[in-house]
Amino acid sequence: MRAVTNVLIGGVAFALGALVSFLIFRQPAGSSTIVPPEVLKAAEAGGEEILRGVDPAKLGSAPFTQDFTQQYATEYDAFIKPMSTMGSIAWVGTPVVTWTSSGYIDLALAARTQAGILLLELRMVRGPNGAWAVDRLLSIQLR
């Protein structure tokens, strides 16, 4: 009888642990196939300017937040300009949501450039006017 009780208690503890885990970690990332079109459009517009290595003084304000423009200006000479491309840029693959929260979406995009495949991970936020904008360049990698 004692063994049955221990098995039942263990089973209940396991089920409770699984439920708590599910509630805590249920949304670390959105579905890789569900990227809202308005987010993707803003990310691609911003990503193209980043990949082209647009000078910080000439960076368009539409797809970017003020925080991003400050980060971009700081990292431009050492990080962004050396990886820039002048050739054609073609978005390839499926954009992937790497993390999502109530206030932002982290999105990974791959682009075929003259240097090879560049992967951008951008944090997208909704501005006060409701439009999506690039808030951070989380990473840029040559694949």
Domain extents for the chain? Answer: 1-27, 31-142
Per-residue pLDDT in tens (0 to 9) along the chain, 143 residues: 777 786 677 666 666 665 555 554 444 444 545 788 999 999 999 999 999 999 999 988 789 999 999 999 999 999 898 888 888 999 999 999 999 888 899 999 999 998 899 999 999 999 888 899 999 999 998 88
| Cα separation, 110 vs 143, whole angstroms | 9
**CATH code, residues 31-142:** 3.10.450
Q: Which residues contact 17 (CB under 8 A, 6 or more apart)?
A: none
pTM exceeds 0.85, yes or no: no
Rg of the chain taking only CA atoms, in angstroms: 21
